[in-house]
Copies of this chain bind each other. A is one copy, B any other.
Amino acid sequence: MKKETAASGTETETGTGARAGIDPSGPALARIRALPSWQLNRASARGRRLVGEALAREGLRMPHHAVLSAVSDLGPVAQAELGRTTGFDPKDMVGILNDLQAAGLVTREPDPADRRKNAISLTDEGGRRLVRLAERGDEANEELLGALTPGERERFLELLRKVAEG
């Protein structure tokens, strides 16, 4: 029952990128799996899993790490500014900061100079936790790129940045 109509017939095309060694009977799935977007999703999912597991050992998740880093860099800073810097939605920023505040890693005080704003600051414990988070994150990324040589990693990151920035 193989009535392969799609793509198997006279789809000569330019022959670009097409991995010539693909199963001739039904290349549709292999084509999809060869797409950069597909492989990017797979690699990204693996990275998220590795980093997620690593940060979970510190009781936090990736957004917490990012926001904690931003607070560390920007000193006392408003939530909206944190959102612009890290790219997280204001809606989600509320929950992230709630978690960090509940864990005693940041303080959230009203800004006397602008009473609309919250001044977010890093606590000492937050600073210590951030160091450990960075270590865990580095370990996870080390494992993520484990199959690559140092030279390949450099090249990969360079190309990846181009793709990410569009």
Q: Which residue of B lies closest to A111 (CB)?
A: B7
Q: Which residues of B contact A86 (CB under 8 A)?
A: 29
Q: Evaluate contact between B137 and A163: CB separation under 8 angstroms.
A: no
The prevalent SS among residues of A at the interface is helix
Cβ proximity bits A126-166 to B, threshold 8 Å, 1 near / 0 not: 01001100100110110011111000110111011111111
Q: Which residues of B contact A41 (CB under 8 A)?
A: 44, 47-48
Q: Evaluate contact between A164 and B42: CB separation under 8 angstroms.
A: yes
Cβ proximity bits A41-74 to B, threshold 8 Å, 1 near / 0 not: 1111111101100000000000001101110111
Asked if A1 is at the interface of the complex by the 8 Å CB criterion, the answer is: yes
* Distance between A82 CB and nearest chain B CB, rounded to angstroms: 10
Q: Evaluate contact between A2 and B164: CB separation under 8 angstroms.
A: no
State the CA gap A45–B27 with chains docked (Å): 26
Partner of A72, one of B4, B131, B153: B4
Using a CB–CB cutoff of 8 Å, the interface residues on chain A facing chain B are 1-9, 12, 17, 23, 25-29, 31-32, 34-37, 39-48, 50-51, 65-66, 68-70, 72-78, 81, 85-86, 111, 113-114, 117, 119, 122, 124, 127, 130-131, 134, 137-138, 140-141, 144-148, 152-153, 155-157, 159-166
